[in-house]
Amino acid sequence: MKLETIEAEAGDIPAPARNEDIPTSRSSRWVKRARLPAGLIALLAILIVVPILLVVVSSLTTETPRPGNLLGSGLTLENFATILSAGTRQALLNSLIVGVGASILALFIGGLLAFTVARTNVPGRRFLYLVGLVPMFLPSYVGALAWAILGNPNAGLANIGLKDIGLPALVNIYNLGGLIFVLGIYYAPYSFLLIHSAFSLMNPDLEESAAIHGAGTFRVLRKVTLPLATPAILGSLVLTLVLTLENFPVAQIIGGAAHIDTLPTYIYRLMNSSPSRGNEGAAVAIALVALILVITAIQRKVISSRDFTTVAGKGIKPRQIDLGAARIPLLVFGIAYFIAAAVLPLATLLIVALKRSPYTSTLTTLFEPGVLSGESFVTAVTSPTVIKAASNSLIVGVVAALAGTILAFVVAYVSNRTNLPGRSLLEYISMLPLAVPAIVMGLGLLWTWLILPVPIYGTLWVMIVAFVAAQMAQGYRSVSGSILQIDNDLEESAMMHGSSRIGGILRITVPLMRVGLTSTFLLLLMLSMRELTVPLFLFTTDTRLLSIVIFDNFENGVLQASAAISLLYCLVLLILALVTRRFGAADEK
């Protein structure tokens, strides 16, 4: 080909125009790809980041956010002087004592039960497995309410029973020990689940090797088994420590009567003082978040410094340990825990709900005719206040769970199935509520929806939005676990046969994730039904939930109504838990 011809053909393509079009095309494609993650980031920022930032801003200003004054007025560091006050120092000390004590107790109970069920030949292991989970069906504040009635030093049913048999009143739940006890027994299931999983998946080769070289059973446990379970043990310890540090309802019910403040109850008291000391409460809230972040960072550093790999590519059958005569004491221990965490509290609530009179001088009168009646249950199910609260709880729970599941699915899909810009940031924001105590989120959500130009404050919509925000981490984590089990090739195959991306998601991914999405919905529904701390800052007379009604009745001394509603409430939660378990079993099949 002649040189003139080549130059002529080349000249048909204007080079400068081609070079300018390339960056423009790439820029427009990037903008188009960034639209979805940018929209999700903006939505999550409003739901999660803005409330947290408002708490930070409030801690640095002289006034709390309000309409017309979005960021308070006047910067100051004086609010942080509250952290050094005697009240805050005492609340911090109480929080640490209660948190450490309750987490150690929860670890002991849950860990011992987990080891017994997973690795020993103790009789009734299936029963003990259920024992480890049953306390999760009772919200911790319902358990605290029952133990407050049971362990009152003056008129508690336990002390009345002791007097009936000629013994002095020995039970007093209104102290630091009582608070540790109640929190410990109701957070033990978290330790049980984490540690049971570790023991069940543990490769027995190392244990058998130690036994072959002459190590006895207890030395194998001390030198091999327990060290290999360190991540689960330490993880459950830190988890329960964080949960007990941020727990408000139990600390308020038990500690309030004993005038014992923890950091969450101290924040609540600052917010409800007259005049309100919201800025100081925000400063204390920042200190609580910082404490939790430090604890989490220490746990991660300890775990990352060691290797705990024990599961390889071959099948695993954990080595069962013959306990001999120790089997019976461990079975008795499990039964005693079951009685303390479930039987006694439920029996106490039932007795209080059935008695015609709220006063009891001796338990022997319970067997007299006409003493017991079901009137409190009839009153509970026919009361306009309870009916309204139940309706509110159902509406808020269902809508929040549905919206939370859909949002979690979209965020999890973008984070795990695409290479869109900003997908990592989506995951970080979604998991942020795990590091923020519920009382801090409640505080931030209150200020957020007071100042945003969206008229939902004072309606059920603000409750729904608050629950979606507070439970985003649980929803995201649940959906992500399900979405990672679905092979991406199935969706890609549908697209190769002419389906759009959305069509492939709706026709392939969503149907295959039906059980996982349903389980997520039921999980969020149960969490919404159990939640008390977040709505405590947002409710009005017309938007009270069942949890608020129970708490208010107890605070006002209306024990019979509180007990009756609590029992009906626990029944609903049990049904939800059984439905969730049924879908989980279907998923395993």
Q: How confident is the model at residue 19 (pLDDT cuts 50, 70, 90)?
A: very low
Whether the per-residue pLDDT at 68 is higher than 50: the answer is yes
Whether the per-residue pLDDT at 494 is higher than 70: the answer is no
What pLDDT digit, counting tens, does each position of 265-284 carry? 999 998 888 888 888 888 99
Which pLDDT score, from 0 to 100, does residue 108 have? 93
The predicted model scores a pTM of 0.81
Which pLDDT score, from 0 to 100, does residue 485 have? 66
Which pLDDT score, from 0 to 100, does residue 480 have? 81
What pLDDT digit, counting tens, does each position of 225-279 carry? 666 666 778 778 888 888 898 899 999 999 888 889 999 999 999 888 888 888 8
What pLDDT digit, counting tens, does each position of 101-145 carry? 999 999 999 989 988 888 788 888 889 988 888 887 788 889 999
Which pLDDT score, from 0 to 100, does residue 97 have? 94
- Sorted by sequence, the CB contacts under 8 Å of residue 163 that are 6+ apart come out as 169, 362
> What DSSP line would sit under 464-500, residue for residue?
HHHHHHHTHHHHHHHHHHHHTTS-HHHHHHHHHTT--
Whether the per-residue pLDDT at 333 is higher than 90: the answer is yes
> What DSSP line would sit under 61-128, residue for residue?
BSS--BTTBTT-SSB-SGGGGGGGSHHHHHHHHHHHHHHHHHHHHHHHHHHHHHHHHHHB--S-HHHH
Name the least confident of 234-238, 298-302, 526-530.
298-302
Q: How confident is the model at residue 198 (pLDDT cuts 50, 70, 90)?
A: confident
Whether the per-residue pLDDT at 191 is higher than 70: the answer is yes
Which pLDDT score, from 0 to 100, does residue 208 have? 55
Name the least confident of 295-309, 376-390, 400-414.
295-309
Query: Alpha helices, DSSP H only, in 165-228?
Result: 176-200, 205-212, 217-220, 226-228
Whether the per-residue pLDDT at 356 is higher than 80: the answer is no
Which pLDDT score, from 0 to 100, does residue 201 have? 65
| Rounded average pLDDT over 423-440 | 86
What pLDDT digit, counting tens, does each position of 546-564 carry? 899 988 888 888 888 888 8
Whether the per-residue pLDDT at 171 is higher than 70: the answer is yes
The tokens for 8 are 């002529």
Q: Higher-confidence residue: 205 or 60?
A: 60
| Rounded average pLDDT over 10-14 | 43
Q: What does the alpha-carbon distance between residue 417 and residue 354 come to, in Å, rounded to a whole number?
A: 55
% of the chain with per-residue pLDDT over 70 = 80
